[in-house]
Structure formats: C-alpha cells, structure tokens
Amino acid sequence: MYIESILPEITGDKYNGDGTLTSRDYLTIDDFDVDGKTVLVRVDLNVPMDPEENILDDMRIKSHIPTLKDLEDAKVVLLAHQSRAGKSDFTTTKPHARRMSQYLGKEVEYVDDIFGSHARTRIASMEKGDVILLENVRFYAEESLKRPAKEHAQTHMVKKLSPLMDIFLNDAFAVSHRSQLSITGFTEVLPSGAGRVMEKEITSLDRGLKGSECPCIFVLGGAKVDDSLKVAENVLTNGSADRVLLTGVVANVMLAAIGVDIGKTSMDFIESQGYLDQIERGKQIMDKFDGQIGLPEDVALNDDGKRVEVMVDELPADGLPINDIGIETIVAYSKELRNAKTVVLNGPAGLSEVEPFALGTHEVIKAAVHSEYSIAGGGHISAEVRNMGYDDRFSHLSTGGGACIDYLAGMVLPGIEAFKKAASRYKHNS
C-alpha cells in the first residue's frame, strides 16, 4: 500500500496537471519527502578485492555518495552484494562499509545480518541521519533466483524488511538487467524510485539513444559479438545512430561476414566463443544497413607480442591472431569521431590489456572526447577511460557492463521496469 504522506504534492514541469509524468515515467529522490523516513536503497558495491579482502577499485562505492548525501535527513538502509557463491571474493560487506564511511564523512554501520532479528532490531532503532549497510544479499540463496517481481515480493526478505521501510530506491543500475529479489521484490510493496546513479544512467544513455545531437556515432568492440550486433541493429533501426564503427572480435566476425579470410587462428577463436552463427547474422545486418557500418581497413596481428600491421585485403597472414585495429583504421575512425556531436563507446578495440594492442582503444577514447557529448559503456571500456585519466573528459561513464549493453540494445531491464510500474501504480492510486 502506498503511503501518501511520503510523496510531496506533484507539481512543476515533471508532471502534467492530471498527475501523469511528462519528462520521465519513474520517480526519483526529488519526488519523495524523505525527511525522517526509513529508505531502503539497493546499491551496487560489487568491487574487485584481493585475497586479504582489500578493495582494489572503489569506483562503484564512490558513485553512490551523491545519493547518500541527498538522503542525509533520512534513515538509510543499504542492500548490496559482493561477488557470487564459489568465487574467492565472495565475502561480507564489512570492508565496503568502512570505505563508504571514509567518502561519506560519517559512519556507515555494517550489520552482519540481512533480515533476521538482529537486522530488524537495528533498523527499528535507527535515528535520522543514520546509515547502515546490511550483509551481502547473495548470502541468501533466494536472492539469485530469477523470478517475476510478484514472486520475489512473497519471499521472507521482502516480508520481513518491507514493514520497516517507507521507500525503496534502486541505485544499482549495473545489476538491474537481472530480475533478482533485492532489485525487483520491494517495488511491489513500497513506494519506489531511482537513486542518483540510476537516474544519471537513464538520463545519459537516453541522450545517446533518443535525444542525440547529430552526427551520432557508436563504436562497438570487445568480444561479446551477439550483444554488439543487438546494439548495432537497435540504434540503426531506430535512427539513434548515424554510423556504427566496429572494432574487436565483432569487427572480425563482420569481416568474415563480407567474405574476408581473417585467418584460422581468429576464426578458431570465434568458434571457441560460440559465435560462428553470428557471421550469417552479421551479413544480414551489413546488407540491411549498407553504408552505415564502418569496418577496419587494416588490422594489427600479434606475432609473439609484436604488433604487425596488415591491410585487410592482405589477410590471412601466417596464421597470426588479429588483436587490434590497424593505424589506417585508427586514423579514419578518429577523424569521424572528432567530427561527431555524440559518441557512444562500448567495448575495447583490441586486446587492450596487452600494451602493443591497446593503441586502438586508447586512440578511439582520445578522439571521442572531442565530441559534444561522449558516453563510455561499462566494463572494460570505462576501466580504460579511468586508467587513462580521462574520466572528467567524458560526459558519462556507465557503471554497468551487461546492463549498459542491454539498455543500448533496446531491451527491457527488469529492475528499471519494476520501479516504473511502481510509479504508474502510485499515479493511479493517488
């Protein structure tokens, strides 16, 4: 049941006079009266850790600080996960609470329980301004089950915690492509919306997908060929992109699709990843969007760690693997990107973790920042942007890998759909 006192009067340009949403179809922190309220926030604190449980990269932890700052007058209960069962870094959220405390400037208390009596007692005793982080939600087996939101709402976790909460906020974009308990279950029973990370992801990615200044160019790379082809087809079909430039393994698949002999080693890799069937699909996409898809003119082969430049029409070459786009392609792609107004990057251009083959990825990143609006998808490409110290030069760095790909591909993300439906229910019930 929705508690009307939680939400302020709906006015302003975000809503029409009848209470329907205009500029967005979901609620954010700005739509709730959070003063003194108990707010359950699903955050994404899943970070790389060493065997001694030291945090190696805290970008995701830092990203949630704006959300917590805007909830300083509330009682904030955080839900998060770390890794998954069977992994060496599947551990408690205690280190995350310590690190978050440092960035927030006040204690974020770790509670070694999720929804048991210890957790519930602590939540019930919270005072305004308190922030607590509950235990790793994946310690509870039902968290990882994929179910409809209505089924998740019937679990012990939701039934035990929801009576203690006034509001639920999803700030975990990176895991919102999964229909998991802590992502969708609470939206069925609590007034729900997006935290600041989630809000920024939706707004920024929508600008690349829907409100782009033209020309808009997508550069797709990496090894997830099927995902990249979904994105390419989506953005070219709906007119979001004027051009799609391909790099990485997806470029190799598309070269094979147009009849280029990319060599046995590269073909064997494509087969080992289960992407042979994507070659025919790639041919269909190339035929459908003739002239809108850019392919490499040359490539860099890996000769025992040495970079060897070869024009595409000179392939195959001694059975060496293709590990990057070539210099001529880098120059051509960079020129297009420098003249673009919107650029979206997803996936590295080559084997970026090996120095000689990081060139294509780094040069594409350097060119992208000259556009008026630049987006780096999550995962490897965002990591490379940060490693280069280009964080501040991009308009948006996504916190999600798989979630970002799915969003750009036009797929429905269960976590986002859940709080959008919650907003719609409030609209009809108010």
Distance from C-alpha of 357 to C-alpha of 213, rounded to nearest angstrom? 31
Average pLDDT over residues 299-327: 94
Tell me the DSSP string of 46-101. ---B-TT--BS--HHHHHTHHHHHTTTTSEEEEE---S-TTSTT---SHHHHHHHH
Asked if residue 348 lies in contact with residue 223, where contact means CB atoms within 8 angstroms, the answer is: no
24 is in an annotated binding site: no
Is pLDDT at 141 greater than 80 in this prediction?
Answer: yes
Q: Where in the chain is the domain with CATH 3.40.50.1260?
A: 4-200+412-429, 214-371
Give the DSSP H or E segment for 134: strand 131-134
399 falls in which pLDDT band (50, 70, 90)? very high
338 is in an annotated binding site: no
Is pLDDT at 135 greater than 60 in this prediction?
Answer: yes
Asked if residue 259 lies in contact with residue 282, where contact means CB atoms within 8 angstroms, the answer is: no
81 is in an annotated binding site: yes
CATH homologous superfamily of 214-371? Phosphoglycerate kinase, N-terminal domain (3.40.50.1260)
Q: Could you give the angle at the alpha carbon of 163 between the alpha carbons of 157 and 165, nearest 5°?
A: 90
82 is in an annotated binding site: yes
What pairing do the DSSP bridges indicate for beta strands 298-303 and 322-325?
Answer: antiparallel
353 is in an annotated binding site: yes
Rounded (10°) CA dihedral 242, 247, 250, 252 = 120
Asked if residue 279 lies in contact with residue 286, where contact means CB atoms within 8 angstroms, the answer is: no
46 is in an annotated binding site: yes
- Single out the residue of 420, 415, 426 nearest to residue 185, CA to CA: 415
Is pLDDT at 429 greater than 80 in this prediction?
Answer: no
Asked if residue 60 lies in contact with residue 46, where contact means CB atoms within 8 angstroms, the answer is: yes
393 is in an annotated binding site: no
178 is in an annotated binding site: yes
CB-based contacts of 428, cutoff 8 Å, min separation 6: none
Distance from C-alpha of 369 to C-alpha of 262, rounded to nearest angstrom? 31
Tell me the DSSP string of 168-233. EEE--GGGTTS--HHHHGGGGTS-EEE-HHHHHHHHHHHHHHTSPPSSEEEEE-SS-HHHHHHHHH
100-116 pLDDT, tens digit each: 999 999 999 999 999 99
Q: Which of helix, strand or coil describes residue 131?
A: strand
Asked if residue 146 lies in contact with residue 133, where contact means CB atoms within 8 angstroms, the answer is: no
Rounded (10°) CA dihedral 108, 110, 113, 118 = -80
- Residue type at 282? G
What integer pLDDT is reported at residue 19 of this predicted model?
Answer: 38
Longest dimension (CA), the chain: 71
154 is in an annotated binding site: no
Asked if residue 173 lies in contact with residue 400, where contact means CB atoms within 8 angstroms, the answer is: yes
What integer pLDDT is reported at residue 21 of this predicted model?
Answer: 40
319 falls in which pLDDT band (50, 70, 90)? confident
44 is in an annotated binding site: yes
Cis peptide before 316 (omega within 30 of 0): yes
83 is in an annotated binding site: yes
Asked if residue 373 lies in contact with residue 337, where contact means CB atoms within 8 angstroms, the answer is: no
Q: Select the more confidently predicted residue: 208 or 114.
A: 114
What integer pLDDT is reported at residue 427 of this predicted model?
Answer: 64
Q: What is the CATH number of domain 4-200+412-429?
A: 3.40.50.1260
152 is in an annotated binding site: no
What integer pLDDT is reported at residue 211 of this predicted model?
Answer: 54
